[in-house]
């Protein structure tokens, strides 16, 4: 490297350093002001839309006397492990099913053959049940029949709910 090249190299390094210092100083002098909404990019949020309704009510499972328990087994998240117990559950229409997740990670009980099923979650859906928590599925308004269900987090977890 000749002398000129060294000077140019150091000059470029120096300009980089100066740019960094200037940016650091200017940006630290101009922090965003909380509540300042004068930006030309500001857009108001759309009004909240009504939540999709499913026939699974968000109620505290501990206050409900369930008729049947469906357990999500520990280790169910691992493909190939036993997941729902019982895998095929038969209940009488009107029965209240308590879904107990005894695993350590969240799972769901969602009707349908899988995520691509257009009817998925339209009949029942617990939404996420955290590890160690429980949810309720009410069958009062579900027509008698056989429904496959799966876990939206782990779609290989599947089971069948039969309503008589
Ligand atoms: Cu799962």
**Distance from Cα 109 to the centre of ligand 1, integer Å:** 8
**Distance from Cα 52 to the centre of ligand 1, integer Å:** 21
Mean pLDDT for the stretch of residues 18-42 = 82
Instruction: Tell me the CA distances in angstroms from 52 to 37, 121, 123, 128, one per residue in order.
Output: 32, 10, 12, 15
pLDDT at position 52 is 47
Return the minimum-mean-pLDDT range out of 43-47, 64-68, 124-128. Answer: 43-47
Asked if residue 41 is part of any domain, the answer here is: no
**Distance from Cα 124 to the centre of ligand 1, integer Å:** 16
Instruction: Report the alpha-carbon distance of residue 96 to residue 66 in Å, rounded.
Output: 5
**Distance from Cα 151 to the centre of ligand 1, integer Å:** 5
Q: Which strand (E) or helix (H) includes residue 4?
A: helix 3-29
**Distance from Cα 75 to the centre of ligand 1, integer Å:** 9
Same domain, 79 and 156: yes
Query: Of 55, 67, 59, 60, nearest to 109 (Cα)?
Result: 55
Same domain, 92 and 155: yes
Please write the tens of the pLDDT for every residue from 128-151: 999 999 999 999 999 999 999 999
Q: How many domains does the chain have?
A: 2
Same domain, 92 and 136: yes
**Distance from Cα 113 to the centre of ligand 1, integer Å:** 14
Please write the tens of the pLDDT for every residue from 79-98: 999 999 999 999 999 999 99
Same domain, 72 and 133: yes
Asked if residue 102 is part of any domain, the answer here is: yes
- For residue 10, the enclosing domain spans 1-29
**CA dihedral (62, 54, 103, 66) positive or negative:** positive
Q: How confident is the model at residue 49 (pLDDT cuts 50, 70, 90)?
A: low
Same domain, 5 and 74: no
Q: Backbone phi, then psi, for 130, in 5-degree steps? A: -70, 160
- In the chain, pLDDT over 90 holds for what percent of residues? 71
């Amino acid at each position: 490297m000749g002398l000129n090249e060294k000077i140019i190299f150091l000059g470029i390094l120096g300009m980089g350093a100066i740019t960094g210092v200037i940016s650091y100083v200017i940006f630290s002098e101009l922090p965003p002001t909380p509540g300042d909404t004068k930006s030309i990019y500001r857009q108001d949020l759309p009004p909240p839309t009504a939540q999709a309704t499913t026939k699974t009510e968000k109620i505290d499972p501990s206050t409900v006397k369930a008729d049947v328990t469906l357990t999500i087994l520990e280790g169910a998240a691992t493909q190939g492990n036993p997941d729902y117990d019982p895998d095929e559950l038969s209940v009488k229409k009107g029965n209240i099913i308590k879904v107990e997740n005894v695993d350590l990670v969240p799972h769901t009980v969602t009707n349908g053959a899988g995520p691509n099923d257009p009817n998925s979650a339209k009949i029942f859906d617990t939404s996420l049940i955290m590890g160690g928590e429980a949810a309720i599925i009410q069958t009062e308004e579900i027509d008698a029949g056989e429904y496959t269900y799966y876990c939206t987090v782990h779609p290989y977890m599947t089971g069948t709910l039969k309503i008589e």
